[in-house]
Structure formats: structure tokens, C-alpha cells
Amino acid sequence: MKNRIYLNPNKKIIDLMINRFGPKMTVYVRNNKSVFKVLLDRVPLIRNIQLIYIPSEIEQLLDIMEKLRSDTGCPWDKKQNHESLLPYLLEEANEYCDAVVSKDMNKITEELGDLLLQIVFHCQIAKENNEFNFDRVSQTIKDKLIFRHPHIFLKGAGKENNVTSSQDVEKIWEQQKKKEKANSSSLESLPPIQRIEKNLDILKKQNKLQDLDKNIGKGLLSQISRKNITQEDYGQYLMELIIYGKLQGFNTTFELLKSIKKWENAVKTCKL
């Protein structure tokens, strides 16, 4: 959609907009008195219109999520929080991976939309809690990209650093990441934790984390070993634990993440 601003629109233009975008699209209208946020089918009731602004697709998506979370919105959407949405985020990420493997562009488009929904959902929840909003998230990643690409955005830096290949870029990327972590309390500053790949699912991350330092886990492993759990028992117990957690109303993903965080803190303490 190229045209987003309509100056001094007449009735014919407004009718064409309603036919094109639908009567229930939210638009911004300015007349000689004020600026209004209204549905498109209400625009003909406003006099002396000077300008109509059609929000971008992402603005419309943010508005929809705000509506879903409002007092008159969807009961299910309203009761969600950051923790309760974690399983859905993981599920959508896995479905996107499947779509990429299948090379189905329509499916990839759909799954990227589902991932975007998760981002918008979390941003709306955070906005309501005065934590952050979508603009803050966008600003953060924008600043990070600029900071990690000085050879592009810092005048002359590319020539000074002889950046001519992707390998050169990777070196700069790692250098900039180290600068970021030096000013951060993140556990990713620990070399072992850095090696946990971002795209691992929760159980894979737990397995990888336990492999980082077997000495830290000896006490826990010895307790488990005394129970003589076989490989077959392990799968059975794991399934029973998941079912038990479901019946108790526990959030399996969130509780496992909390346990992983405790383990990370143990790694940090021992490394320091």
C-alpha cells in the first residue's frame, strides 16, 4: 500500500477508500478543529476533512492486539502473560523451521506472521505493565544492528578494518558483541554459556547446559543414579512428570526455564 495520506479527500475518494480497505479499518482524520481516530465508515460524518491517514500494516496489527487485550476484547487473550505464552512461541518457532525445510513460501509467510504475532503480543503485555513497547523493541534491535556493523554505518571504518569478506564481518561482529557483554551482567558473558546455541529448544538447552561442567552436576547426578533409572524409565518418568504438571496447572516450559536459570547461576558462581 503506497498511498497512506489523502489530502482534502472528497466523498468519491472516501467511498473508494471504504471499498478498498473495508469499513472497519481504523484511520486518522484531521479537520479544521482536531485529529480523530475513527473507523473508516464513520469518516463521512466528519466535516471539513483536511487529511486522512491510513496506518501501516504493523500499526494496524498493534491496534488489533491492543483491542484484543482491552476490557471488551478476547477473554483468552486478556488472561495471557509472558510466561503463559512461552509454549506458543516455541511451537511457532518449530513450525517456522518446518516450513523452511519444506521450502513452502506460503507456509513460511504464514509462520513468520505467527512469530510476529508473538512479538506483538509480548510487547502489548509489557506496554500495559509500563515495561517496554514495540517501539522500544524496534529501537533496541536497530541500535544493535548499527553498533555491530561499524564497517557499514561508521564512516571509513570498513576501509580502516579491511572489511572485504564475510569472515572479516564475523570478526567485527564478535568484537562488538564482546564490547556489549563487557557492559552487561548477562550470563552470556561466560564462555561456556555463550556456546549454548540460541535456536536450541528448552530440553536441548538443558542437556547442553549440563554438559558444560560435569563437576557442578555430580551431586545431582549421584542422587538420580541411586534410583537406578533406566533409559526406558527415563522416558516414562519424563512423560509422567509432564502430565502431572499439566494436571497441577504448572507451566512446564516456564518451570524448566527457571531451573535452567538456577543452573546457570551455579555455573556463574563456580566460574567466578
Q: What is the pLDDT of residues 227-271, one digit of tens each?
A: 677 878 888 888 888 888 888 888 777 787 778 777 777 766 665
Tell me the backbone φ, ψ of residue 9, rounded to 5 degrees.
-70, 140
Residue where the block lists cell 512469530: 115
pLDDT at 205 over 50: yes
Q: What is the pLDDT of residues 23-36, one digit of tens each?
A: 988 899 999 889 98
Question: Rounded CA gap, 205 and 211, in Å?
Answer: 10
Q: How much is the CA Rg of the chain, to the nearest whole Å?
A: 25
Residue where the block lists cell 547446559: 209
Least confident of 7-11, 30-34, 58-62, 180-184: 180-184
Q: What is the pLDDT of residues 71-111, one digit of tens each?
A: 999 999 999 999 999 889 989 998 998 899 888 999 999 99
The dihedral built from the CA positions of residue 200, 202, 203 and 206, taken in this order, carries a sign that is: positive
Among 133, 110, 136, residue whose Cα is nearest residue 121: 133
77, 69 Cβ separation under 8 angstroms = yes
168 vs 16, residue with greater confidence: 16
- Provide the mean pLDDT of the chain: 80
Question: Rounded CA gap, 200 and 220, in Å?
Answer: 23
Tell me the backbone φ, ψ of residue 210, rounded to 5 degrees.
-70, -25
Question: Rounded CA gap, 272 and 264, in Å?
Answer: 12
Least confident of 30-34, 111-115, 130-134: 30-34
Among 53, 27, 21, 51, residue whose Cα is nearest residue 39: 27
59, 1 Cβ separation under 8 angstroms = no
Tell me the backbone φ, ψ of residue 7, rounded to 5 degrees.
-90, 135
3-class secondary structure per residue, 68-101? HCCCCCCHHHHCCCCCCCHHHHHHHHHHHHHHHH
Angle at CA 20, nearest 5°, toward 15 and 22? Answer: 85
Burial of 43 (0-12, 13-18, 19+ CB in 10 A): buried
Q: Where are the beta strands (DSSP E) in the chain?
A: 5-7, 26-31, 35-39, 49-53
- What separation in angstroms does the CA of 31 have from each of 4, 6, 164, 169? 17, 12, 54, 51
Q: For the beta carbon of residue 77, count every other beta carbon within 10 angstroms.
A: 15
pLDDT of residue 264: 72
Question: What contacts 201, CB < 8 A, 6 or more positions away?
Answer: 90, 94
